[in-house]
Structure 1
Amino acid sequence: MYADESYPPYSYVEYGQLKGVYPEIFQKIFSQMPAYSVRMVPVAWKRGLLLLEQGRGFALFPPYMRQEERPYMSYSDPVLTEETAVFCLSEVAAFRKRGQWPDDFAGLRIATNFGFATGGGKFEEMVSHHLLLKDEGPGNRSNILKLLHRRVDCYINDRLSVLWEMDRIYAEFPRLQKTVAIAEMGTIRRENAYLGFTNLNPAQFPFKEDFVLQFNRVLRGMRERGEIAEILLRYQRP
């Protein structure tokens, strides 16, 4: 099972260890699935998608549901609801209305993560018509650093993830907090995140149907007992 290696605090690598909200949730789920032994392997997000698209990987977390863009993938029950937000340089925000996404951001350079379809259909349409520029980067940290060094105007990603990583960067580079101001300019959308499974190569994964049934059953029980919310709370900003 593959995990995004650069999506803190949800799923990330620190000192060679996979950490985060999803690994913690899934480890607890798998401990209640004694018929299965599961290894979670961190990879770059785009590579994880490719492994499922080629039928070489069994599962990947945490995708949003993109049935048209990723017909090779099926999904578990929703695990968490994430909130995608847009963050911009304060000098850019001062001259933009806090309104319609993505129309009010025309002409700007917007950072996104490789393989993340977070901006929506109209955003991609505006990119294709050169009404704004999409600047893809390998992960949260690299894109926030681009924003803090004014190489892009805005960055879109999960709100908790951006705030978490921004706090870590400011602690590491206090000067940046004093010299570069970032403004949160609103929520783009709220979306469920899942455990995604390949639809290809069924002979290699004959246990898939049973695995998904057991996974969903344990997940529902944890949610009903408040265990999912309890894990997420530990990663919230103080």
Structure 2
Amino acid sequence: MGRLLVMSLACVLHATSWARAPVDVVILCDAGYPPYSYAEEGEAKGIYADILRVAFARMPDYRVRIRPLPWTRALAELAKGRAFALYPPYKRTSERPWMDYSRPILREKLVVFVRADVARKLSDKPFPQAYVGLRIGQNSGFINILDQDYQRMLGRGELHQVRVKDNRTSLAMLYRGRLDAYINDRRAVLWELERMHSNGVLGEMGLTWIVEGPWLSGEEGHLGYSRSRPRAYPYKEDFKKHLDAILADLEREGVIYRIVTRYDASYPLQLKAVGI
């Protein structure tokens, strides 16, 4: 009798598990930030996509689809609560009070890249004082220069910040002399430079026109969650808790490191560094 009861209970539990289908979740991502996050024929590609797909495969209670969008549009969707989450924002609690964050996924390195002819004329002063009067490019939607001197100089009009839609456009503007310097993640810049060089976009100059300037800071990318319309996403806290635990496992197991280094091997470029 006892054995029959155990078998009956097992059947009930088995049937219950089949009845509970995975929750469908849509995650937005930046469509124009290679090699970290970008789109090819509508499919999410890049380092963050590779890491998160490994993580989502370990979350059987959720069926996750990644949807690439232009960064500023993705941020707007999240701010209004029309999207559950997106990657890879930096943690900016004061500028984005409508966003919660996962644990850090990986660390990026912000670097200034400078036209070689401009770099030769820079003073011996450190960044940003040596860059007075220059046109400095940054990608739209990224709030990533926390240096107080930089912000004060912007406010006084001593620096001219130009917002550009993506990495490739910014580097093309730098190449053509429409920008004097460009600030972005080092890996992202080198990745795009290699592609432009391989495609012949840079002509006979190759990479002699650009130099690597000072390293400004490290920034950590996250999965950002909307705090708006919480009733639309009742699974948010459970999803966040499980993803954070899995990301910690992936870091400890070396999975994240191995994914990142696959992309590092793609650009054997050596640029002359200045101002470090």
TM-score by structure 2 length?
Answer: 0.83
- Quick one: which of 47, 50, 53 aligns to 1:24? 50
| Residue type at the aligned position of 1:64 | Y
Q: Which residue of 2 is the match for residue 205 of structure 1?
A: 233
Q: CA deviation at 1:126?
A: 2.0
Q: Which residue of 2 is the match for residue 125 of structure 1?
A: 152
Kindly indicate whether the alpha-carbon contact (under 8 Å) linking 2:136 and 2:159 is maintained by their aligned counterparts in 1: yes
CA deviations on 1:30-87 (whole Å, 9 max, x unpaired) are 0110000111111111111111111111111001110111111110011001000000
- Quick one: which of 110, 118, 136 aligns to 2:136? 110
CA deviations on 1:97-151 (whole Å, 9 max, x unpaired) are 4652222211000010001112225333322321111111110010010001111
- Name the CA shift for 1:29/1:179 in 2 (closer, same or farther; >3 Å): closer
Q: Which residue of 2 is the match for residue 215 of structure 1?
A: 243
Gapped runs of 5+ residues in structure 2?
A: 1-26, 269-276
Kindly indicate whether the alpha-carbon contact (under 8 Å) linking 1:108 and 1:153 is maintained by their aligned counterparts in 2: yes
Kindly indicate whether the alpha-carbon contact (under 8 Å) linking 2:135 and 2:180 is maintained by their aligned counterparts in 1: yes
Tell me how far apart the structure 1 counterparts of residues 125 and 99 of structure 2 sit (CA, whole Å): 33
Q: Which residue of 2 is the match for residue 171 of structure 1?
A: 198
TM-score by structure 1 length?
Answer: 0.95
Kindly indicate whether the alpha-carbon contact (under 8 Å) linking 2:89 and 2:224 is maintained by their aligned counterparts in 1: yes
Q: How many residues align?
A: 238
| Residue type at the aligned position of 1:118 | N
The structure with the larger Rg is 2
Q: Which residue of 1 is the match for residue 166 of structure 2?
A: 139
Kindly indicate whether the alpha-carbon contact (under 8 Å) linking 1:3 and 1:43 is maintained by their aligned counterparts in 2: yes
Q: Which residue of 2 is the match for residue 36 of structure 1?
A: 62
- Quick one: which of 241, 256, 262 aligns to 1:228? 256
Q: Which one has more relative contact order, counting CA pairs under 8 Å at least 6 apart?
A: 1
CA deviations on 1:188-215 (whole Å, 9 max, x unpaired) are 1111111111111100001000000110
CA RMSD across the alignment: 1.5
| Residue type at the aligned position of 1:23 | A
